[in-house]
Each structure stands twice: as structure tokens, then as C-alpha cells.
Amino acid sequence: MSKKQKVLAIASPGGHWIQLNKICNPLEDRFDMVYVTPGSQYSSAKKGSRKIVNITDASATSKHKLIPLAFQLITLFIKERPSAIISTGAAPGAIAFLLAKVLPIKTIWVDSIANTAEISRSGRMVKKHADLVITQWEQLSNDEGIVYQGSIL
């Protein structure tokens, strides 16, 4: 029997994290999921059988944290050797996608359901680099690769 493919699931706390879990929890049968989130909200590391890794947060207003964050993500890629990364946002997920671009890792961006009028800022940042970009609002899908396949609701 072949080993399950490993998948990193990255999201900021709050709504992004709730959406990520809604999407990724059903994938746990098919893939070896590793959840990645900034901050200490899940510092217990393992909640049940789920593997959760904490990383540094970074945003447009905290650019000085980008270097430690990038370092942590690269370390994680080397250690876990994921086949794919899924993110619902925001900035840390986008940074992970940019780093993964040069590696054999598929990247899947699911834009937050909170973005009804246009793709989020971090989503626009990764749009050209991600292997799959998904919107949760049909009207935001287009012929240029933004896909709609239902929503987390």
C-alpha cells in the first residue's frame, strides 16, 4: 500500500481558519494533513490526532516578520515534503505559495467567502503563481483560471 500524500493546510486564525478546516477535515481520509497557523491559538500542537504547526504571523503591516516566516516555511517544506499546499488566506498562506513555486508542490488557493466583490488582496498576490485558484462566489469565477465549485457553506 502506498503512503498517503502529505498536504499542508495553512490559514490565519479566525474566519480563514474556520473555512480551512471545513474544506480540509474531509480530506483527512485521503491525505496526510498537516495544519499550519500563526499564533499560539493551538499551541497544544496536537488536538486529537490532528497535527498543527505554529508559525510566525506576517502581514502588509509587519514586513519585518517575513524573513523568520519564510525560514519557518522552508524548514517545514524540507521536513514534511508536502505534495500540495492549501490556503484560504491571508498573508502567511500567500508567502508559502510564493516559496513553493520553485518546488514540486501543488498550490491551491481558496479565496475567503468574505470576498464577494473581488478576490482578496492576498489572493490577487498569488493568482499568477498558484496552480489552482478557487472563489466561493460564482460571479467571481472567470475564464482566466478562477474556478467556482461551491462554497464552504
Partner 1 sequence: MIFVAVGTQFSFNRLVQYMDEWAVSDENTNNETVIAQVSDGDYQAKNIETQPFMDGEQYNKNIREASVFVSHAGMGNIISAREQQTPIIVINRQHKLGEHRNDHQADGIKWMEKLDGVYTASTREELYAHLNNIEQLKTADTSVVGSEQLSNYIADFISTGKR
Residues that bind partner 1 (CB under 8 A): 5, 7, 15, 18-19, 22-24, 26-27, 30-31, 83-84, 86, 104, 106, 108, 110, 113-116, 131-132, 134, 136, 147, 149-153
Rounded CA gap, 148 and 140, in Å?
8
The answer for residues whose C-beta is within 8 angstroms of residue 139's C-beta and 6 or more apart is none
Closer of 78 and 117 to partner 1 (Cβ): 117
How deeply is 135 buried, as exposed, middle or buried, from its count of CB atoms within 10 A (0-12, 13-18, 19+)?
Answer: buried
Cell numbers 499568477: residue: 128
Closer of 58 and 85 to partner 1 (Cβ): 85
Rounded CA gap, 145 and 131, in Å?
9
Closer of 5 and 56 to partner 1 (Cβ): 5
The answer for residues whose C-beta is within 8 angstroms of residue 27's C-beta and 6 or more apart is 7, 33
Tell me how far, at minimum, the Cβ of 149 lies from partner 1, in Å. Answer: 4
Closer of 75 and 149 to partner 1 (Cβ): 149
Other residues' Cβ atoms within 10 Å of the Cβ of residue 7: 23
Tell me how far, at minimum, the Cβ of 25 lies from partner 1, in Å. Answer: 8
Closer of 71 and 138 to partner 1 (Cβ): 138
Tell me how far, at minimum, the Cβ of 54 lies from partner 1, in Å. Answer: 19
Tell me how far, at minimum, the Cβ of 67 lies from partner 1, in Å. Answer: 26
Tell me how far, at minimum, the Cβ of 115 lies from partner 1, in Å. Answer: 8
With H, G, I as helix, E, B as strand and everything else as coil, classify residue 93.
helix
